Chain A
C-alpha cells in the first residue's frame, strides 16, 4: 500500500503535525505503545481483559437483574399466583421443543414474517427511492402515502380478513403493509438530507446521474435508511402478533391463544420471551450491518 510512483513534491518533513484541526482519533486498542518490560505489558493486557469482561458484565447486568427479580418475585408470591416462575417457563419451553410443537409454530410464524417483510421492505425502499430521486414522483405519491401512514395499519386486520379470507394471504398482507411507511419516510428523508456540497463536488468530478446516485446519494442516505429498517423490523414482529390472534391454527400467536384457553401461563410466557428474543435478534442483525456499512462514521458514542 505504500508504493509511491511519483516523488512527493512536498517539502521534506512536511507530514504536518501543525495543520491538525481534526486530529486522527486514537485507535481503540488497549495497548497504546509496545510495553517496555514484558511483565508490565502482561499486567496491562491482563488488566485490559479484566476491564473488557467488566464492561461486558455491565451490559448484561440489567437483564440479569430483571431475571433475578422475576425469579424472586414468583417464588415469594409478590407477582400473584398466576405468574409462572422462570423455572416453570423454562421447563414448559423444553417440553414444547421436545414435542416438536414449538419448532412447527415458530416455523410458520417466521415464514409469515419473512414473506411479508420480503415484499414490504423492498416496496418501502423502492417508494422512498423513487420519491427521493425524482421530484415528480414525490409530488404524486407523497400525499397518499402520508395519509395511509396516519391510519393504524393494525386496524386493517378485520378488513383484510374479509378481503383476502382467513388464510395466509390476509396475514401476509397485513405484515407487508406495516414496514412500508417507516422505510419510505426514512429513505426519502435520508436522500433529502444528503449534503448538496458533496453532490456538487462529485458532479464536478464527472459522475453521471447514476454514478451520483450510487456513490453519493445512496451512501449518504444509508444511515437514515438503516434506521428505517430497524423500525420496519420492529413493526413486522408487532404485526405478526396481531395477525396471529384471530382465525388461525398455527404460529406462535396461536400457541399463545391456545394456552390462554387452558390457563397455561407458563406457555404464554414462553411465547412472550420468544417475541422478545426475535425482536432483539433482528435488531442485532441490522446493527451488525450498520457497523460494517457505516464504519466511516465517527459519531458521538456516549461517555
Chain B
C-alpha cells in the first residue's frame, strides 16, 4: 500500500515530485506507479531489499537513466549531484582536478580546494586517486558532489564498501556537510541503522512501490539505546521482511538473502499489461 508523504502539503515547493513513475526492463516492472516527494533540504533515506528498485529510482532522478517507461509528473532540480558506492574518481586526474571536474568559472579551482578542505583532505590536492585509501576516495567523491552546490544530492549506498569504523566517521561528515549546504538528499541504503542515524524520513521501497514512509522522530543524539530508536528499527526491519525478535540482530542481515525471489506476484502483474 502506497502512503503519501505528509511533506507534500507543508513544504511550499518540493525539490522532487514524482507521481506514477513506471520503469520497465524488458517487460519487468522495476518501478510500479511510484509516488514520492522530497522537500528542499529534507534528508530522505530509501531502503528496501535488493531488487526493490532503489538504485533504479536514483538513476532516474540523477538523469543517468533516460529510458523511463512512463510518469505523470517527474520534477527534479536542475542541479543534481550523485555519489556512487564506488568513488569513481578519474584515475588520471589528480584529486583537485577530480573535484573541479566540469566546474564552470575561473574560481573553480579555489572552490574545489575549499571543498577538499571541508572533507578533511586539505594537503592531498596533488595526490593521485590510487594513492588514497577507500575512505579518502569516497570523501573526494563527496567533495566533488558538494562543490557543485546541488539542490538534490543522490547517494547510492555511498558507504557500502567501507569498513564499519570509517562508515561511522563518514556518517558524521555527511551530516555536517548537509547541515552546511542544505541540499535535499536521497540516500539509498540497505542499512537500517544508517537510515535512522542520518535521515529525516525513511521510505521503504518494495516491489517498485513505496511500502512505508516514516518520519524519523528519534530525539537528537540518535543513540541505538533509546526505546524510540529500537521501536523504529524493529518497524523498519519488519517492513523489510525480517523478524527483529528472532535472535539477536546487531547487524541487519542482507535483506536480499532472506527473501531470495520476489518475482511471483510481479510476474503475474506484468503479464497483464
Which A residues are within 8 Å of any B CB, using their own CB? 1-11, 14-16, 18-25, 197-198, 200-207, 211, 215-216, 219-220, 222, 294-298
Contacts and interface: CB of A to CB of B under 8 A. Distances in A.
Given A4-B117, A198-B90, A21 B102 contact: no
B185 to A, nearest CB: 15
Contact of A6 (B117, B126, B129, B134): B117
A19 B148 contact: no
B123 A10 contact: no
A18 B177 CA distance: 22
Interface residues of B, number: 48
B66 to A, nearest CB: 11
Given A20-B133, A197-B86, A297-B130, 12 more contacts: A4-B117, A4-B122, A9-B173, A10-B120, A10-B172, A19-B134, A21-B134, A204-B62, A204-B80, A205-B102, A206-B102, A215-B93
28 contacts: A3-B122, A4-B113, A6-B117, A9-B119, A9-B177, A15-B120, A18-B163, A18-B166, A19-B133, A19-B135, A19-B166, A19-B169, A20-B133, A23-B133, A24-B127, A197-B84, A200-B64, A201-B82, A204-B62, A204-B63, A204-B64, A215-B101, A219-B90, A219-B93, A220-B92, A295-B128, A296-B92, A297-B91
Contacts of A23: 133
Interface of B: 62-64, 80-82, 84, 86, 88, 90-93, 101-102, 110, 113-114, 117-120, 122-123, 125-136, 144, 148, 162-163, 165-166, 169, 172-173, 176-177, 180
A275 to B, nearest CB: 35
B169 A3 contact: no
B82 A8 contact: no
Which of A15, A18, A204, A206: most chain B Cβ within 10 A? A204
Q: Mostly helix, strand, loop or mixed at chain A's interface?
A: loop
B130 A204 contact: no
A205 B118 contact: no
Contacts of B92: 219-220, 222, 294, 296
A205 B101 contact: yes
Given A204-B81, A205-B101, A296-B91, A2 B123 contact: yes
A211 B133 contact: no
Contacts of B120: 8-10, 14-15
A206 B114 contact: no
B169 A10 contact: yes
A296 B180 CA distance: 33
B118 A1 contact: no
Contacts of A15: 120
A71 B176 CA distance: 74
